[in-house]
């Protein structure tokens, strides 16, 4: 029984990190062109949806985004 449990534990240790390594690359297209999103790393949720930074999206659409740390407000 101990051997089986050890085998299952080792199997889980090997497979879990490989899944996260495969999820590391994400290609995004904006207006038909592939864009780089290295500075703002996207998050992929359990439903396989990519969540990207609103700041990054606004900057890609040529909006100026500034942060006022005194009032904690975006400009």
The pLDDT tens digits of the residues spanning 6-59 come to: 777 776 666 665 444 445 566 777 778 887 777 777 777 888 887 888 888 888
Is residue 54 a part of any domain in this protein? yes
Is residue 18 a part of any domain in this protein? no
Q: What is the pLDDT of residue 19?
A: 47
Q: What is the pLDDT of residue 15?
A: 62
Is residue 60 a part of any domain in this protein? yes
Q: What is the pLDDT of residue 56?
A: 80
Is residue 17 a part of any domain in this protein? no
What's the whole-model pTM score?
0.45
Is residue 36 a part of any domain in this protein? yes
Is residue 34 a part of any domain in this protein? yes
3-state helix, strand, coil in the chain (%, to 5): 35, 20, 45
The angle formed by the CA atoms of residues 40, 37 and 30, to the nearest 5 degrees, is 125
Is residue 15 a part of any domain in this protein? no
Q: What is the pLDDT of residue 17?
A: 55
Domain, as residue range, for 62: 25-75
Q: What is the pLDDT of residue 74?
A: 65
Q: Total structural domains in the chain? A: 1
């Amino acid at each position: 029984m101990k051997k089986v449990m050890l085998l299952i534990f080792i199997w889980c240790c090997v497979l879990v990190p490989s899944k996260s390594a495969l999820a590391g690359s994400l290609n995004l297209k904006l207006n038909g062109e592939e864009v780089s999103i290295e500075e703002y790393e996207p998050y992929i949720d359990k439903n396989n949806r990519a969540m990207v930074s609103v700041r990054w999206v606004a900057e890609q659409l040529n909006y100026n985004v500034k942060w006022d740390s005194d009032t904690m407000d975006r400009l």
